[in-house]
């Protein structure tokens, strides 16, 4: 596989990952949304997902470090166990049932919700409602297993319950770190990281990822909270549209 790589491919892959982690440095999700559609032209999905899991885990730690005091323990305590359960259920669903219809309904909901939020950004539901927190954790965990990305689900919940952008990003990073750690563990147990090609590509992309996160972090400090939430909703909308197209393709 390494012998088939050209210089132009390397440049495109590196630049794509660089841009993806600038966004991650700003809002702590979105790498799969941005990187996967481009990387899929050069690398198989079985290589992309384990690589992004390793990079996301490292990037999340980088964003959590120094900001851990901004983590909302109450929110995390409600979401983390449900993320784990959702990840397990997602794995079972992936192996046993056709989830296309369910994902189609979810995609429609995400698109409609994002459009609503973009035009009425200050409408909130509170994390004190445990059932809502549990639902978001469960769905996010399941999507993380099914599609390699549940970050936008956590972003919807956090952006509607927290007002400080750094606190939103820190809690998002904690959730992504937990989710990707679970995924990395599963990949390790399945033998994915015994593939030397995956490890080499991941190591080569670490410096690009770190530079992207650094730039994204600088931009994060400059963005007003209202613009920050709008950016989140735009990316969630794009994610929903992408999921909708994917589901329609599977169904038809």
Q: How many Å apart are CA 172 and CA 149, to the nearest integer?
A: 13
pLDDT at 128: 54
- Determine the angle formed by the axes of helices 130-147 and 165-190, rounding to 10 degrees: 50
**Which structural domain, as residue segments, surrounds residue 105?**
2-251
pTM as predicted = 0.78
pLDDT at 2: 54
> Please, what sign has the CA dihedral across residues 112, 16, 150, 49?
positive
pLDDT in tens, the chain (252 residues): 555 678 888 899 999 999 999 989 988 888 887 887 788 888 887 788 889 989 999 999 988 987 888 889 999 999 999 999 998 887 777 667 766 776 777 778 778 877 877 776 454 555 556 788 899 999 988 887 777 677 888 988 998 888 888 898 999 999 999 988 988 888 898 888 999 999 999 999 999 999 999 999 998 888 887 787 788 778 878 877 877 887 787 777
Q: How many Å apart are CA 41 and CA 113, to the nearest integer?
A: 31
pLDDT at 60: 93
pLDDT at 160: 83
Number of domains the chain is built from: 1
- Determine the angle formed by the axes of helices 73-96 and 151-159, rounding to 10 degrees: 150
pLDDT at 52: 92
pLDDT at 173: 92
Q: Are 212 and 20 in contact (CB under 8 A)?
A: yes
């Amino acid at each position: 596989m390494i012998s088939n790589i050209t210089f132009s491919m390397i440049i495109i892959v590196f630049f794509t990952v660089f841009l993806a982690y600038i966004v991650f440095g700003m809002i702590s999700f979105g790498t799969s949304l941005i990187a996967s559609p481009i990387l899929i032209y050069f690398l198989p999905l079985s290589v992309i997902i384990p690589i992004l899991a390793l990079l996301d885990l490292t990037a999340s730690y980088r964003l959590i470090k120094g900001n851990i005091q901004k983590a909302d323990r109450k929110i995390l305590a409600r979401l983390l166990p449900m993320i784990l359960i959702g990840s397990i259920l997602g794995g079972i669903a992936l192996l046993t049932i056709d989830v296309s219809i369910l994902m189609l309904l979810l995609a429609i909901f995400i698109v409609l919700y994002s459009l609503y939020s973009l035009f009425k950004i200050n409408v909130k539901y509170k994390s004190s409602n445990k059932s809502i927190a549990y639902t978001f954790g469960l769905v996010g965990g399941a999507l993380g297993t099914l599609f390699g990305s549940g970050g936008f689900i956590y972003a919807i919940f956090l952006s509607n319950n927290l007002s400080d952008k750094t606190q939103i990003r820190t809690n998002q990073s904690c959730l992504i770190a937990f989710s990707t750690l679970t995924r990395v563990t599963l990949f390790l147990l399945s033998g994915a990281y015994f593939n030397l090609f995956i490890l080499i590509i991941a190591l080569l992309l670490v410096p690009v990822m770190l530079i992207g996160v650094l730039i994204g972090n600088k931009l994060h400090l400059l963005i007003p909270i209202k613009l920050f939430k709008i950016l989140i909703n735009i990316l969630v909308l794009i994610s929903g549209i992408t999921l909708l197209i994917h589901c329609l393709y599977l169904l038809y």
